[in-house]
Each structure stands twice: as C-alpha cells, then as structure tokens.
Chains A and B, each alone.
Chain A
C-alpha cells in the first residue's frame, strides 16, 4: 500500500509545484493546455493498457464478482450524476459541467484537462475535486468500510483498479478488492466516453 500513498503524494506535490509556478508566473493558458493534452493522450492510452491487460483477472474473478463489480460501477455512475445535479442546482452552476466533473469518479488526470478545454474554472474543479476523491478514499476507506460495509468500495470509483486497490484489499479482503478491480476497469473504460458526452450535452 506504500506505493499507492507514494503515488498520491507525488501527484499532490506535482499539483502544488504547478500551482506555485502558475500563481507566480501566470503563463498564458493556451500553450500550457496544448502541452497538457499531449500528456493526456499518453495517460489515457496507459489507462487503456491496464484495462486491456486486466481481462484475464476479470474473467477469472467469477460470475458473482463480475456482477457485483458491474453493479458497483452502475451505482458509482448513478451517485456521480445525482450528486452533480444536486450541486449544480444548489450553486446555480451549469449542470452538464458539474455532472461531468462528478463523473470523473476520481480520475483527475483525465477529467481536469478535458474540462479545461470547455472552461478553465471547471478544469480546476474537475482536477482538484477528483484528486481529493482519491485522497479521501485512501484516507477514509478503512473507517467507511467498517461502518458501511462492502458498498464503501464504490467511493474509490475509477481509482479502485489501481491507486486505491491496495487499501481495499487490505481492509475489505481479496473478494471486495476483485469487485473493486472490475468496477475500476469498467469505469476507466467508460469515463473517456461519458464525460465528453455529458459535458457537451447542454442542459
């Protein structure tokens, strides 16, 4: 689990360093975002690689685990949409962009850069909110699992196939870690389609 914490710390350190540079130098957004998109395609291709590579683990997991993972992925998407609608209504923000940010399901390195193409502020919200979701899962999963049981795996969203898999395996056991793996694989495969579709669907 140490490697997951190290990955989260590295990402937070990169965000903090970037924020400091951005606040001090205020570089123009266009070239910064253009450079970011090149890396975005690499991040997505690498995520796709992990999805493609996991088919054996998913196939071996067994029917019950696959069905639970699919159900959890469905609840994760439903929770994202419901929360996005509530937040947009409460704050008077565009529903399509808030729901798209929520649908990131913890995949901050995709959601933030993608939403920044539509609105820099929503790029910030998509990036920071989803990074925090991953951090909350790493920090609070043990407590959530002890109070709420197996559905706590849903909190991890797309991160449950990689960064939060360790914490799930340690506190919930191998069965629920496999359910989390299926949930994460499904969400990682559908988020790059879902987020742009919802974001461009003006409500």
Chain B
C-alpha cells in the first residue's frame, strides 16, 4: 500500500512527464481537457476542504480559536512579505 506522500510524488511525476510529452506533440484537445479537469478538481477539492473547515469551526472557540485565526492571518501575509524583503536586500547588495 502506497503512502499519501508516495502517491503525491507519483502524481506529480506522472503530470510532469505527461506535460513534457504534450509539449513535444501539442494537442489543443488534451490541453483543454487538462485545463477543465484542473479547474473542476480545484473547485471540488476546495469545496471539500471548505466542508472540513466548516465542520471544524465549532471546535475553534476561545483561546485556541483565536490562536488558529491569528496563525492563519500571519501565515497568509508574512511569508510572502519576508521573501520580498529578503529579495530586496539581495537586489540592493548587488
């Protein structure tokens, strides 16, 4: 039985190989099919994760809830901003 991580790596590798092969013999139909599949799968996946978020909301009360909300707010903004600041510092040094 494969682990979740192994299945993730296999999915990624299969996708990369398929994309590479498609670039050698471009097919508008295949490309459009992947675009549609990607859009549909993201919507379904985000919807299902929304169900998880919604059913977990009731457990996020009091201090734990505040901590999770603060972590979400900080993780949404700080990583990108810190990366930008590091990039700016490196650009200035050059």
A residues with a Cβ closer than 8 A to B are: 7, 10-11, 14-27, 29, 32-33, 35-37, 39-56, 71-72, 75-80, 82-84, 86-87, 90-93, 98, 101-103, 105-106, 108-109, 112-114, 116-117, 120-121, 123-125, 127-133, 136-137, 144, 148-152, 154-157, 189, 192-193, 196
The SS class assigned to the A binding surface is helix
Does A125 lie within 8 Å of B54, measured CB to CB? no
B73-94 residues with Cβ-Cβ distance < 8 A to A are 73-88, 90-91
Residues of chain B at interface, number, CB under 8 A = 67
Q: Which A residues are in CB contact (< 8 Å) with B37?
A: 42, 46
The minimal Cβ–Cβ distance linking A96 to chain B, given in whole angstroms, is 14
In the complex, how many residue pairs between chain A and chain B have their CB atoms under 8 Å apart?
Answer: 306
Between B42, B51, B79, the greatest number of chain A beta carbons within 10 A of the residue's beta carbon is seen for B79
B49 contact from A18, A87, A121, Cβ within 8 A: A18
Query: Closest chain A residue to B51 by CB distance?
Result: A22
In Å, the complex CA distance between A87 and B71 comes to 7
Does B42 lie within 8 Å of A43, measured CB to CB? yes
